[in-house]
A and B are shown apart, each in its own frame.
Chain A
Amino acid sequence: MRFAGAIAAVLLIAGSAFAAEIPQADRRSGYDFMKPDTRAMQDEDTANPGMLWVLDGEGLWKRKAGTANKTCADCHDDARTSMKGVAARYPSFDKSTGRPIDLEQRINSCRTSQQQATPLPFESRGLLALTAFIARQSQGVRIETGADPQLAPFIAKGRELYVQRQGQLNLSCANCHDDSWDKRLAGSAITQGHPTGYPLYRLEWQSLGSLQRRLRACITGIRAQAYDYGAPELVELELYLMSRARGMAMEAPAVRP
């Protein structure tokens, strides 16, 4: 009887407790799950299609925009020095709104407040290009997102979302990316979901895409209603995932299958 009780207690714990987080030493980038030919695409700048967006972004960085008639470079100079390590700190805390904002939102807030230009639509070529160009300057830099103590409540919210079961399949992010990352789903590696390379070129998309696009695709995959682009929930999820990947090296623009 006591033995059966113990089993029941263990089952209860297993059923209710959240999945154990991945130990630091076992964390792996999506890159480690890829085949050698896909890795080769990412490794060489002239074979990595993401670099096409980086080139476009470099052009946009130096182009005047808005009624202020200013370029990004007018304030930030050479991105190679001024933007090094920046993407590795995003999403970061935005004082004016009192909320975390991601890199895309930061670019658009800079466009509207400093350049007095119209914000670029999410997933537009221009916004992806600028984000890719800025993120590229942090390649190899260790992720530091979440160091700001003001972000703590938002990271906690992001974590809540991450472990929240939802959708018709009633799955949480953690069910796959913490519990089953060493397994496969329909022939594809599940991976640990560390956003080290965004914006990244997905062969499936035939294009560069943002982390929000990836998250929305995952949420649709579990047959839940995806949050709109720019929704606070998506940014909190981005923030949690980036802080979860703290210490890992940035790869943007990465290539993924």
Chain B
Amino acid sequence: MASALINVPAKAKRGDIIEIKTLMSHIMETGYRHTTAGEVVPRDIITSFTCRFNGSEIFRTDLFPAISANPFITFFTTATESGKFEFEWTGDQGFSETASASITVE
């Protein structure tokens, strides 16, 4: 039941600095914890997050075990033209999720 919450302004003026906010559902298991029986709980984290705007990459970050569950990633960009933001999260155990949001620039 993975899901993402995305906050991108629907409209902006050309040249405006806009904030993009993303929240992805993920347990971010560090790989350093043990069960009561002493077995290691295998690492299960998101390792990479990418944002593309109209096909070209505008933001990328690597994630590590110290990052909390349900990572909240925000960044700023300049509104240049109307188009579509595409977000991609990839991680351990074949985790791969995408989401998108559109913006109209006037």
Q: Using a CB–CB distance below 8 Å, which chain A residues touch chain B?
A: 41, 44-47, 49, 51-52, 55-56, 59, 125, 129, 203, 206-207
User: In whole Å, how far is B13's beta carbon from the nearest beta carbon of chain A?
Assistant: 22
Q: Using a CB–CB distance below 8 Å, which chain B residues touch chain A?
A: 1, 3, 5-7, 21, 23, 25, 27-28, 68-70, 72
| Measured CA separation A153–B88 after assembly (Å) | 54
Q: Apart from A47-B5, A206-B69, A206-B70, list 7 A-B contacts with CB within 8 A.
A: A46-B21, A47-B72, A52-B70, A55-B5, A125-B1, A206-B27, A206-B28
Q: How many cross-chain pairs have Cβ atoms below 8 Å apart between A and B?
A: 39
User: In whole Å, how far is B99's beta carbon from the nearest beta carbon of chain A?
Assistant: 12
Contact B1 A129 (CB under 8 A): yes
User: In whole Å, how far is A37's beta carbon from the nearest beta carbon of chain B?
Assistant: 11
30 pairs from A and B in contact (CB 8 Å cutoff): A41-B72, A44-B7, A45-B5, A46-B5, A46-B6, A46-B7, A46-B21, A46-B23, A47-B7, A47-B21, A47-B23, A47-B72, A49-B23, A49-B25, A49-B70, A49-B72, A52-B3, A52-B5, A52-B70, A55-B3, A56-B3, A125-B1, A129-B1, A203-B68, A206-B27, A206-B28, A206-B68, A206-B69, A206-B70, A207-B69
User: In whole Å, how far is A65's beta carbon from the nearest beta carbon of chain B?
Assistant: 15
Q: Which of chain B's residues has its CB closest to A50's CB?
A: B70
Given contacts A45-B5, A46-B5, A47-B7, contact A52 B23 (CB under 8 A): yes
| Measured CA separation A51–B6 after assembly (Å) | 11
Q: Which of A47, A59, A203 has the most CB of B within 10 A?
A: A47
Q: Which of chain B's residues has its CB closest to A60's CB?
A: B1
